[in-house]
Structure formats: structure tokens, C-alpha cells
């Protein structure tokens, strides 16, 4: 659920505001209760239309390059700083290029369910569609998709469970593992299983998205070419420069007891 909580410069609820709009996202459970997870974010381009907002993201200038690499390689490792737009834009680029035209879906995994809901809501808003139709999400106890869904956000645990019943992921044309640098247990297992899947399914594309410089580790793992002929490589690395918002890291002065 998204609602404005402040306008900084003024509190006028119209499109003439001079300050950036701050939104809060709360994850609503099926029971109707609100989780204790609260995400507050600032959109400095809220006064622009959706197409203009998308064009301001750093990854926008790399759109054609992303699509070219997905056509040429089975696995693409995307390294981009937080806020560059890779999580919301890459699935849309793939959809626009026809990767979901054959009835298959574009799947994106996230380690946390609040990120799944937030990203799916944002992409549905950008596509000007109702959440649950062309763009949907699946988390534990909550499946907001239907037969029309082409972009599906989900937790990595959901995709793991799906692999149990559909080992080749026949419903998907592209799988994007987002926030891979977090190296959760589920995501590591997923990466291992996906490497086996692409051996049997050369038409499946794997995108591994990371915000840190551990790209070579992922590329070497997914590289299936055992010869010295680099024209037969199956994995590549792409770097996206720039970020939408400044990101700072703060450390607590005292240790945290767990």
C-alpha cells in the first residue's frame, strides 16, 4: 500500500508542488494486518510523467545493450549501483522486446517479500496496468497473478518450490535473480539449480543482478564454454554506471546482540 506522507517544501496535494514527494510502503498480510516492515522512499521525479521518469534512470541508456546481451548469451551478469533502475526496468525491456510473447513469463526473484510487493506495484504503475494482470507477484500465502501475467515477481523461496514440480521452469523464458550479492541460502541453491537447467534448456535466459563487484565469481560459475574460443562463451558481465539517489552507509557505534 502506498501513500504520500510529506511534500517537504509544501503540503499541497497537486502536481505543482516544488518539493520531492516521499512515499511509504507497508506490506499488508492476507489477514489484513500490517507487517512491521516499513519502507520510506523519495521520488525526485514525481512531477514528471512515467515515460520521463523511466528515461531519467541510469540504466535507460543501456537498454539496447541489455537486450543484445540477452540475445547472445545464456547468462548475463548485471552490476549496477543501488538506484540505477535495474530491478524495475530490465523486466520491462525484456517484455517490450517480446520475451513473453510465446506464453511464457519473465520471473524476478527477491530475497525479501516486502521488496517483491513494492517492485511489482511500481512496475505495474509504470506499465499502467492493474497489479495482478500483466504484472503480478507471488509470496507466501499471497498469489497476485492470473493467466495474463507476463512479469512475475516472487521470493527466491517461491521459485525453489516451483522447481520441485517443474524442474525445467517451462513457464519462463527469463529468470532474473536480483540482489544476488546478498548470497542467501535460497538464492545460492537457486543459482546452482539454474546452472543445471540452462544446460538442458539453451533457450532459457538467466540474469544475475548484483550491487557489488563480485561479477567474475558469478560469470565463471555460469560459463559453460570449456574451450579457448571466446566466441562460444555463454556468460558475460555488464556494468551500469550511476545511481538515482545518493546512498550512504552508516555503522552503529555499539555491537548488536542477536
What is the CATH number for 209?
3.40.50.300
153 and 70 in a common domain:
yes
What pLDDT is attached to residue 87?
92
43 and 131 in a common domain:
no
> At residue 25, what are phi and psi to the nearest 5 degrees?
-115, 125
110 and 42 in a common domain:
no
Is the CB of residue 50 less than 8 Å from the CB of residue 125? yes
Count the alpha carbons within 13 Å of 165 in the hemisphere toward its beta carbon. Answer: 5
78 and 36 in a common domain:
no
Can you list the residues of the chain whose pLDDT is less than 70? 1-46, 213, 242-247, 258
What pLDDT is attached to residue 65?
96
Is the CB of residue 222 less than 8 Å from the CB of residue 228? no
The DSSP letter of residue 181 is G
117 and 13 in a common domain:
no
Specify if 114 maps to a domain: yes
107 and 13 in a common domain:
no
What pLDDT is attached to residue 84?
87
The DSSP letter of residue 98 is T
Specify if 253 maps to a domain: no
Indicate the pTM of the whole model.
Answer: 0.77
Residue 32's domain spans which residues?
A: 2-47
Pairing between β-strand 105-110 and β-strand 135-139 as defined by DSSP bridges: unpaired
Q: Give how far Cα 193 sits from Cα of 76, 162, 174, 199, Å.
A: 16, 12, 15, 10
107 and 67 in a common domain:
yes
149 and 199 in a common domain:
yes
Specify if 152 maps to a domain: yes
Specify if 104 maps to a domain: yes
Specify if 182 maps to a domain: yes
What pLDDT is attached to residue 246?
67
Domain total for the chain? 2
Specify if 38 maps to a domain: yes
pLDDT digits (tens, 9 = 90+) for 225-245: 999 999 999 999 999 986 656
Specify if 131 maps to a domain: yes
Specify if 150 maps to a domain: yes
148 and 222 in a common domain:
yes
Residues 6+ apart with CB under 8 A from 136: 120, 143, 144, 145, 146, 149, 151, 152, 153
42 and 56 in a common domain:
no
Is the CB of residue 206 less than 8 Å from the CB of residue 172? no
60 and 18 in a common domain:
no
162 and 198 in a common domain:
yes
pLDDT digits (tens, 9 = 90+) for 134-169: 999 999 999 999 999 999 999 999 999 999 999 999
What pLDDT is attached to residue 182?
85
> At residue 206, what are phi and psi to the nearest 5 degrees?
-115, 130
Amino acid at each position: 500500500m502506498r501513500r504520500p506522507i510529506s511534500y517537504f517544501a509544501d503540503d499541497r496535494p497537486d502536481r505543482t508542488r516544488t518539493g520531492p514527494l516521499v512515499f511509504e510502503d507497508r506490506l499488508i498480510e492476507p489477514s489484513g494486518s500490517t507487517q512491521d516492515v516499513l519502507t520510506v522512499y523519495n521520488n525526485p521525479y514525481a512531477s514528471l510523467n512515467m515515460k520521463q521518469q523511466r528515461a531519467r534512470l541510469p540504466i535507460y541508456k543501456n537498454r539496447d545493450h541489455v537486450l543484445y546481451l540477452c540475445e547472445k548469451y545464456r547468462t548475463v551478469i548485471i552490476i549496477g549501483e543501488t538506484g540505477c533502475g535495474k530491478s524495475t526496468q530490465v523486466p520491462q525491456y525484456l517484455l517490450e522486446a517480446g520475451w513473453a510473447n510465446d506464453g511464457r513469463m519473465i520471473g524476478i526473484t527477491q530475497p525479501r517479500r516486502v521488496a517483491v510487493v513494492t517492485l511489482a506495484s511500481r512496475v505495474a504503475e509504470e506499465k499502467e496496468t492493474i497489479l495482478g494482470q500483466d504484472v503480478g507477484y507471488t509470496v507466501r500465502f499471497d498469489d497476485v497473478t492470473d493467466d495474463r501475467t507476463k512479469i512475475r515477481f516472487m521470493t527466491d523461496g517461491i521459485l525453489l518450490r516451483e522447481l520441485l514440480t517443474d524442474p525445467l521452469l517451462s513457464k519462463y523464458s527469463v529468470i532474473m535473480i536480483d540482489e544476488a550479492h546478498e548470497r542467501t541460502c535460497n538464492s545460492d541453491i537457486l543459482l546452482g539449480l539454474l546452472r543445471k537447467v540452462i544446460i538442458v534448456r539453451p533457450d532459457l535466459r538467466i540474469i544475475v543482478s548484483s550491487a557489488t563487484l563480485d561479477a567474475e565469481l558469478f560469470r565463471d560459475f555460469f560459463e559453460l564454454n570449456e574451450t579457448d574460443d571466446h566466441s562460444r562463451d555463454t556468460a558475460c558481465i555488464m556494468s551500469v554506471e550511476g545511481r538515482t539517489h545518493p546512498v550512504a552507509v552508516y555503522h552503529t557505534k555499539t555491537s548488536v546482540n542477536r
